[in-house]
């Protein structure tokens, strides 16, 4: 059952009586309810939706399960996600004010759902903290769980209270509990979407050592700073890798990390330069992931061999960012993501997504020993 918000917005005895009546009906009939203040459900496995925000694209089956406490927010978020290459839904659950079904039950459902490979959540409060963390620990051991929390500040918490009658929880306490449970805390929607791309398109990294490849050393240096600040390590290359890179990088200093492939690209061509560099880094045991910063101009043809290489064998996550005009960047991003290669507006976004993947991979690795 999906309950609308009508009548539940009333304060005082009238609203309380209505809630008790609904709870009694649920207890007697054995039915379950979602809401009130909700747009309900989306299930792309069977085409079911109770939401008037649902679109044809939103009902295209995918691998992302979303749980959200705000109805209109989740409606527009799901519309946006389903408009992006490869970010289609498995299930969407708008909890609303949680008169019955809560975040722990929804998370447990998506944890068991075979269609769902990654779980995203937007919460304003947690009804039963102990129960939620117990489910979260089991869920995060099996699938990445990404969480956006509304009401991090005192002012935001007051807004939550007026929105879904949410109770304030000290954010530092909540944040620590999430880390212990293996939940990946997102700081914004851009962070959320970038991390989705990483998990959906790429394998998990084996460690935290990242190699940066750049058309612009300035961008490369900013990428190095972002990586170190995020707790990643700058990968070191062995002599064998240096020899392989020398096939397309003439200056030895440019073949260190970060790798600077300009102006050598003008000699060998972008396709050959990029594929030779990626092959060398794939074979280097000291590299766990690659962030590739390139130029968007003159069409995407040079990236056809790159896509072919990644589709044939991609043992490590590879993230691309491009420099150029907004229009050219969008063309390149669309081409690569249509072929399941994640692209980001800037290296910092790629680094944040990679960091989340490292955290999840480390947790899964640690759990193998228990």
Tokens representing 64 are: 């992302």
Give the pairing type, strands 209-214 and 118-123: unpaired
pLDDT band at 304 (very low <50, low <70, confident <90, very high): very high
The region, left, alpha or beta by phi > 0 then psi within -120 to 50, assigned to residue 33 is beta
Using the 8-state DSSP alphabet, how is residue 12 labeled? S
pLDDT band at 352 (very low <50, low <70, confident <90, very high): very high
Neighbours of 180 (CB within 10 A): 11
For the cut 50, the answer to whether the pLDDT of residue 297 exceeds it is yes
Q: What's the pTM value of the predicted model, to 2 decimals?
A: 0.86
pLDDT band at 162 (very low <50, low <70, confident <90, very high): very low
Instruction: Name the least confident of 4-13, 106-115, 140-149, 168-177.
Output: 4-13
**Torsion, Cα of 157, 97, 15, 17 (10° steps):** -130
Same fold, 13-186 and 209-367: yes
For the cut 90, the answer to whether the pLDDT of residue 258 exceeds it is yes
Contact 88, 63 (CB under 8 A): yes
- Whether a cis peptide bond, with omega within 30° of 0, leads into 36 is yes
Neighbours of 175 (CB within 10 A): 15
Q: What is the pLDDT of residue 225?
A: 95
pLDDT band at 368 (very low <50, low <70, confident <90, very high): low
- The residue extents of the domains of the chain are 13-186, 209-367
The arithmetic mean of pLDDT across residues 236-265, rounded, is 93
SS (H, E, C) 102-136: CHHHHHHHHHHCCCCCEEEEEECCCCCHHHHHHHH
Separation CA 223–CA 319 (nearest Å): 12
The arithmetic mean of pLDDT across residues 104-127, rounded, is 94
For the cut 50, the answer to whether the pLDDT of residue 161 exceeds it is no
Instruction: Summarize pLDDT for 324-337 with one digit per residue, the tens.
Output: 999 999 999 999 99
pLDDT band at 153 (very low <50, low <70, confident <90, very high): low
Using the 8-state DSSP alphabet, how is residue 296 labeled? -
For the cut 80, the answer to whether the pLDDT of residue 169 exceeds it is no
Separation CA 51–CA 58 (nearest Å): 11
Q: Token match 């998506």: residue? A: 110
DSSP3 helix / strand / coil % (the chain, rounded to 5): 50, 15, 35
* Average pLDDT score over the chain: 86
For the cut 60, the answer to whether the pLDDT of residue 168 exceeds it is no
Length of the chain: 370
The arithmetic mean of pLDDT across residues 31-35, rounded, is 80
Instruction: Name the least confident of 4-18, 171-185, 237-251, 290-304.
Output: 4-18
Separation CA 370–CA 367 (nearest Å): 5
- Residue spans of beta strands (DSSP E) within the chain: 41-43, 48-49, 61-68, 89-94, 118-123, 145-149, 184-186, 209-214, 233-234, 259-260, 289-295, 318-323, 343-344
The topology (CATH level 3) of 209-367 is: Rossmann fold (3.40.50)
Q: Which of 184, 182, 201 is nearest to 192 (CA)?
A: 184
Query: Domain spanning 13-186 has what CATH number?
Result: 3.40.50.261
**What percent of the chain has pLDDT above 70?**
87
- Whether a cis peptide bond, with omega within 30° of 0, leads into 361 is no
For the cut 90, the answer to whether the pLDDT of residue 138 exceeds it is yes
Give the pairing type, strands 48-49 and 89-94: unpaired
Q: 94 pairs with which residues across the strands? A: 68
For the cut 60, the answer to whether the pLDDT of residue 277 exceeds it is yes
Task: Please give the helix or strand (H or E) that residue 331 lies within, else none.
Answer: helix 326-338
Neighbours of 216 (CB within 10 A): 16
Separation CA 116–CA 196 (nearest Å): 12
The phi and psi torsions of 214 (rounded to 5 degrees) equal -140, 145
Q: What is the pLDDT of residue 86?
A: 86
Q: What is the pLDDT of residue 6?
A: 46
The arithmetic mean of pLDDT across residues 347-369, rounded, is 88
The arithmetic mean of pLDDT across residues 181-209, rounded, is 94
The region, left, alpha or beta by phi > 0 then psi within -120 to 50, assigned to residue 12 is left
Q: What is the pLDDT of residue 170?
A: 66
Tokens representing 99 are: 């008169």
For the cut 90, the answer to whether the pLDDT of residue 37 exceeds it is no
Contact 320, 196 (CB under 8 A): no
């Amino acid at each position: 059952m999906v309950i609308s918000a009508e009548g539940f917005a009333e304060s005082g005895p009238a609203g309380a009586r209505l809630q008790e009546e609904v709870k009694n009906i649920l207890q007697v009939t054995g039915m379950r309810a979602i809401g009130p203040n909700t747009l309900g459900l989306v299930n792309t496995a069977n085409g079911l939706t109770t939401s008037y925000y649902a679109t044809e694209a939103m009902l295209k089956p995918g691998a992302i399960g979303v749980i959200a406490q705000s109805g209109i927010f989740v409606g527009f978020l799901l519309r946006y996600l389903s408009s992006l290459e490869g970010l289609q839904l498995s299930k969407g659950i708008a909890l609303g004010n949680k008169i019955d079904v809560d975040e722990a039950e929804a998370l447990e459902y998506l944890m068991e759902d075979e269609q769902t490979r990654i779980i995203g959540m937007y919460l304003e409060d947690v009804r039963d903290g102990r129960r939620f963390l117990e489910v979260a620990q089991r869920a995060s051991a099996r699938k990445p769980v990404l969480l956006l929390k509304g009401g991090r500040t005192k002012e935001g918490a007051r807004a939550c209270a007026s929105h879904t009658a949410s109770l304030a929880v000290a954010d530092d306490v909540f944040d620590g509990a999430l880390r212990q449970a293996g939940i990946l805390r997102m700081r914004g929607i851009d962070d959320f979407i970038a991390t989705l791309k990483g998990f959906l398109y790429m394998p998990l990294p084996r460690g935290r050592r990242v190699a940066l490849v750049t058309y612009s050393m300035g961008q490369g240096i900013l990428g190095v700073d972002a990586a170190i600040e995020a707790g990643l390590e700058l990968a070191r290359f062995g002599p064998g890798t240096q020899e392989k890179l020398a096939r397309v990088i003439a200056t030895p200093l440019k073949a260190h990390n970060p790798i600077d492939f300009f102006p050598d690209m003008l000699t060998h061509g972008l396709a050959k330069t990029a594929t030779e560099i990626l092959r060398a880094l794939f074979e280097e045991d000291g590299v766990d992931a690659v962030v590739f910063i390139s130029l968007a101009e003159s069409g995407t043809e040079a990236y056809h061999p790159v896509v072919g290489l990644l589709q044939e064998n991609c043992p490590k996550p590879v993230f691309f960012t491009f420099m150029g005009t907004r229009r050219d960047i969008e063309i390149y991003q669309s081409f690569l993501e249509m072929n399941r290669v994640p692209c980001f507006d800037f290296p910092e976004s790629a680094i944040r997504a990679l960091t989340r993947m490292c955290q999840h991979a480390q947790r899964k690795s640690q759990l193998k020993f228990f």
